[in-house]
Amino acid sequence: MPAKKAAATQPAAKNAASTQSAAKKAAAEKTAPKKTGSAKPESHAALVRRARKINRELAETYPYAHPELDFENAFQLVVATVMSAQTTDLRVNQTTPALFAKYPTPEDLAAANPEEVEELIRPTGFFRAKTKSIMGLAKVLSEEFGGEVPGRLEDLVKLPGVGRKTAFVVLGNAFGRPGITVDTHFGRLVRRWKWTEETDPDKVEKAIGELFPKSEWTMLSHHVIFHGRRICHARKPACGACPIAPLCPAYGEGETDPEKAKKLLKYEKGGFPGQRLKPPQSYLDAGGIPAPPLGATATTG
Residues with catalytic annotation? 165, 183
Half-sphere exposure of 12 (CA within 13 A, CB side): 5
Q: Please check whether residue 46 is in contact with residue 247, taking contact to mean a CB–CB distance below 8 angstroms.
A: no
Residue 197: partners with Cβ closer than 8 Å, 6 or more residues away: 191
Give whole-number Cα distances, 158 to 153, 200, 212, 218, 238, in Å.
9, 20, 28, 22, 40
Eight-class DSSP state of 178: -
Eight-class DSSP state of 238: -
How far apart CA 197 and CA 225 sit, in angstroms, is: 18
Element (DSSP H or E) covering residue 143:
helix 127-144
Q: What is the dihedral of CA 163, 96, 86, 170, to 10 degrees?
A: -20
How big, in percent rounded to 5, are the helix, strand and coil portions of the chain? Answer: 60, 0, 40
